[in-house]
Amino acid sequence: MLARGWVADEEEPFRRRLAFSRAASDGFVATAQFSLYETSSGPVVDSVRDCAKGLRRGAATGLARFATAGRWPKRPSLRVDATSGVECLPATTVLRAIAADPSVHVSLRDRTAQFAQPGRRSGVTLDDAKSVRAPLAALVAEIDEQALTFAEQHATVDAFLAALRSRVSGPTQPLADVVSALIAFDRGAEARDLLATSDENPSPEQRRFARQATRLLNGDVSLDQLDQALPHKPARPRLQLGLGELSNARGRARDASDAVDSVRRSAGASSRDELRALLKAQLAERKLTETPMWIESRLDELEPGYEKPPTAGTVRTIRALLGAVRDAVSSRDWEAVDPPRLIRPPDACY
Amino acid sequence: MERASNGRVGVELDAHVESWLDDAFGAAARRVELDQFDFGYVELDLWFAAPTDTTDAPIIASIGEQRVGLVDPDATHALKAILATAALRAELPWTVGHLNRRKTEPRYVLDFPQPTDRDTPGT
């Protein structure tokens, strides 16, 4: 049984969703849908422009793209690219999709048909709102012919899982998609088996997923709990390059120098620990923070008998520094380095 | 408002950990060294855990399986929030720290990027 019709999008008044659905086996519904702007009521000029943009974007990238096979009602989807490998969402999102509600929605996205026909990549040009309907008719035909067919081919749990499994052999294919789908389809035992036989040298993210999926399967944690906390990795400080920042930097440097001078005047016979505390206090008084290395270097300068490093070898120093950085970068793939066991964090660190 | 110019947090290193840091420094592959000045630093994974007995205690910083010190108390508040959310996943947060080796005492200085609100889920 085929149903089709326009559905208004509550969040975007000018957007209409053209949706198709077809009953399939196992209580599944094969659906294909496409979102477009509908402007026959004569919207303002700006909206017509938006409409054209929407259609161009849709014609270029969206034809037959939204083929879905999944349970109804719709839930946050796990999207699968059928041509270039599985496009997985972060494990946290996938797990969320599995959700406490077993009627999870999983979609399969096909790009094979997207560029299958010559000329399909060109955008649709609209002169006015009245020309919306013609490209819509072409889209409907496209969806009928390809998207629904594609959706129907993957409208059962087994077909969907088979499509997912066929992607597992690829080097970039994460195991997470198949495991997530198995859990979603209440096939926990199969999920456990797959986890147990997975890659012997998993990446940190794969280890992480396996660990959390196992906790979920064991009932040690709920999806709501998992969803509450995202993994933490402190962001690196961003480089600030504005002229205002340069001016501020000069002011900060001057104030930091004043702080050091203040400590120097009151240094006396204080220990290094006492000087460190004093310098931190002086910096805090000026609302400044400096790196621990900067502080230690300034404390070095306050030590009796401190000698400033010679500047004659500046060029050699710069060369040495550049060489060290070049060697470090060129000789090793920083991202791929697997740290030795001695300094490797526990598996529970993310 | 704090005029943070560099945004790095220090770790107060434990006593008697220096020889172990020698090994860690040597084991880290991501290294920049200036032999001319006997100075260099390595990047390595630094992870955090909170003591279970008290709520106000400093946060423990570790490398590998070795506890190396305590996080600067100024950063405790931000890290506690991060630890609390990570605990829901039975995980421990980590970051990339800089282990700096110096010519003079203290021979090692360990620091890591200052956590921000963006690092804490839900903020």
What is the distance, to the nearest Å, from the Cα of residue A237 to the centroid of all Cα atoms in its chain?
19
Q: Which residues of B touch A310 (CB under 8 A)?
A: none
| Residue pair B33/B40 in contact by the 8 Å Cβ criterion | yes
So what's the pLDDT on residue B74? 80
Question: Which residue's structure tokens are 């900067």?
Answer: A294
Which domain covers residue B65, as residue numbers? 8-117
| Residue pair A326/A319 in contact by the 8 Å Cβ criterion | no
Q: Give the Cα separation of A76 and A94 in Å (integer).
A: 9
Query: Chain B interface, mutation test: which of A342, A344, A347, A350, most B Cβ atoms within 10 Å?
Result: A342
> What stretches of A197-340 show up as alpha helix (H) in DSSP?
204-217, 223-228, 243-265, 272-285, 292-302, 314-331
Full DSSP string of A206-239: HHHHHHHHHHHHTTSS-HHHHHH-----PPPPPP
Whether A350 sits inside 8 A of B115 (CB atoms) is no
Whether B113 sits inside 8 A of A235 (CB atoms) is yes
Q: How many residues does chain A have?
A: 350
Rg (CA), chain A: 30
Domain ranges of chain A: 2-71+106-167, 243-324
**pLDDT single digits (tens) B82-118:** 888 778 778 888 888 899 988 888 999 999 988 765 5
Residues whose CB is less than 8 angstroms from the CB of residue A328 and which lie 6 or more positions away in sequence, other chains included: B30, B31, B32
Whether A324 sits inside 8 A of B33 (CB atoms) is yes
Q: Give the Cα separation of B109 and A266 in Å (integer).
A: 25
Let me know the angle formed at the C-alpha of A244 by A239 and A246, rounded to the nearest 5 degrees.
60
- Locate the chain B residue with the closest alpha carbon to A324: B32
Question: Which residue's structure tokens are 């600067």?
Answer: B72
Please determine, for residue B68, whether its predicted confidence score (pLDDT) is greater than 60: yes
| Residue pair A302/A263 in contact by the 8 Å Cβ criterion | yes
Question: Which residue's structure tokens are 């997530």?
Answer: A180
In this prediction, the answer to ipTM > 0.85 reads no
A348 in contact with B at a CB cutoff of 8 Å? yes
In angstroms, the separation between the Cα of residue B57 and the nearest Cα of chain A is 20
| Residue pair B50/B83 in contact by the 8 Å Cβ criterion | yes
Between B32 and A234, the more confident residue is B32
Whether A317 sits inside 8 A of B37 (CB atoms) is yes
**B123 falls within a domain:** no
A308 in contact with B at a CB cutoff of 8 Å? no
Domain count, chain B: 1
User: In which band, very low, low, confident or very high, does the pLDDT at B50 lie, cut at 50, 70 and 90?
Assistant: confident
Burial of residue A52, with CB atoms counted within 10 A of its CB: 0-12 exposed, 13-18 middle, 19 or more buried? buried
B67 in contact with A at a CB cutoff of 8 Å? no
Secondary structure string (H, E, C) spanning A165-206: HCCCCCCCCCCHHHHHHHHHCCCHHHHHHHHHCCCCCCCHHH
Question: Which residue's structure tokens are 């709102």?
Answer: A129
Q: A34: closest CA among A62, A3, A1?
A: A62
Which B-chain residues 12-51 have CB contacts (< 8 A) with chain A?
23-24, 27-37, 40, 44-47
Give the three-class secondary structure for A336: coil
Token digits for A315? 């060029």
C-alpha neighbours within 13 Å on the C-beta side of residue A249: 10
User: In which band, very low, low, confident or very high, does the pLDDT at B21 lie, cut at 50, 70 and 90?
Assistant: very high
Which A-chain residues 210-229 have CB contacts (< 8 A) with chain B?
212, 215, 220-221, 225-226, 228-229
- Cβ neighbours around B115 below 10 Å, total: 24
Tell me the average pLDDT across B24-51. Answer: 74
Percent of chain B topping pLDDT 70? 76
Token digits for A145? 């012919």
Amino acid sitting at position A229:
A
A4 in contact with B at a CB cutoff of 8 Å? no
Query: Dihedral through CA B35, CA B40, CA B43, CA B48, nearest 10?
Result: 140
Per-residue model confidence as pLDDT tens for chain A (350 residues): 233 344 444 444 434 444 444 433 333 333 434 444 333 332 222 222 222 222 222 222 222 222 222 222 333 333 322 221 222 222 223 333 333 333 333 333 333 333 334 443 333 333 333 444 454 455 455 555 555 555 556 556 676 677 667 655 544 445 666 777 677 667 889 889 988 887 667 776 677 778 878 888 888 877 656 655 444 344 343 444 455 555 677 788 888 888 888 888 876 767 888 888 889 889 988 888 888 888 998 898 888 888 776 655 666 666 666 666 666 555 444 444 456 777 777 766 65
Query: Chain A interface, mutation test: which of B2, B22, B91, most A Cβ atoms within 10 Å?
Result: B91
Lowest mean pLDDT: which of A287-291, B32-36, B78-82? Answer: B32-36
Question: Which residue's structure tokens are 């996205």?
Answer: A109
Between A62 and B11, the more confident residue is B11
- Locate the chain A residue with the closest alpha carbon to B37: A317
Q: Give the Cα separation of B82 and B9 in Å (integer).
A: 15
In angstroms, the separation between the Cα of residue B79 and the nearest Cα of chain A is 10
Give me the residue from A232, A288, A345 closest to B45, CB to CB. Answer: A345
- Locate the chain A residue with the closest alpha carbon to B31: A328
Whether A232 sits inside 8 A of B119 (CB atoms) is yes
So what's the pLDDT on residue A61? 23
A324 in contact with B at a CB cutoff of 8 Å? yes
β B60-63/A107-109 pair status: unpaired
Residues whose CB is less than 8 angstroms from the CB of residue A192 and which lie 6 or more positions away in sequence, other chains included: A214, A217
Token digits for B76? 């405790």
